[in-house]
Amino acid sequence: MLSFLRKYLPKPFRDDKTVVPVVRLQGAIGMNGPIRTGLSLASAAIPLEKAFSVKKAPAVALIVNSPGGSPVQSRLIFKRIRDLAKEKEKDVLVFVEDVAASGGYMIAVAGDEIFVDPSSIVGSIGVVAAGFGFTEMIKKIGVDRRVYTAGEKKVILDPFQPEVPEDIDYLKTLQQEIHETFIDLVKSSRGDVLADDPDLFTGKFWTGRRAVELGLVDAVGDLRSVIKKRYGDKAEPKLISAPRGLFGRKAGVGVGLTGGRLVEGLGNELISSVEERALWARYGL
């Protein structure tokens, strides 16, 4: 009723402020633990749905700050953003903070426009797999590795067994397929503005200023300034967050807290934290 009457008030008494919902997509992608919530479709789905459901909003703004991670979760988040943009008929403005690299950049290209800080790190369009080999270590401490499988390729690339060239070739074939999917996604989203540069899809990354020149992003700009310039001085960003559940975790991610599963989970948490730290460190962060 109030909204109906407001349009009949004199202009000075109307609330004509434009609100642009904002969703923050931050962290390594797909790295969830019993304590820490990583970025995934499960953690992003609710705030994205809420943001795109704000009826009078002319656009949805996304803040992306991610060094990458799971290619599957990255593409699922990308697709959910584009599906919602089409369904709700809203523009998507992406603002990169420290880094949008690898899977983080895959998410960023869901934007109709991408804005960066001059010192943001952007790109790394490639696929990587890393691990350790412990064959010499277990020999020194006198440990036998015993694995029993049904299926001769069930334990390829086992870190406790010597590398097999055939298995490495197979892994690289999978990586190439994933890389091609990534390249196709970027070209379909930004093919008309990408520079003709041989390094674009090599996994190399650049500063935000250079990324503008390469067509990977559109312009240098920050969220508040761009929104006010585009939608007027009264326009305001409004952060949309997922509801918090038990122990302050975001809704949509389960927690196992009992017995041996908690101990195992904390061990996995430590490993995931080290892996995530390594992802950020790759870009000097």
pLDDT digits (tens, 9 = 90+) for 51-105: 999 999 999 999 999 999 999 999 999 999 999 999 999 999 999 999 999 999 9
Q: Give the model's confidence band at 158: pLDDT under 50 very low, under 70 low, under 90 confident, else very high.
A: confident
pLDDT digits (tens, 9 = 90+) for 107-136: 999 999 999 999 999 999 998 877 777 877
102 in catalytic set: yes
Q: Residue 257 above 80 pLDDT?
A: no
Q: Please pick, among 139, 154, 172, 234, the residue that the annotation labels catalytic.
A: 154
| Percentage of the chain modeled with pLDDT above 90 | 58
User: Which of 10-14, 154-158, 221-225 shows the lowest per-residue confidence on average (mean pLDDT)?
Assistant: 10-14
Q: Please pick, among 102, 120, 189, 272, the residue that the annotation labels catalytic.
A: 102
- Cβ neighbors of 280 (< 8 A, separation 6 or more) are 28, 67, 99
Q: Residue 5 above 60 pLDDT?
A: no
Other Cβ atoms closer than 10 A to 263: 9
Residue 63 CA to residue 99 CA, distance in Å, equals 10
Rg (CA), the chain: 23
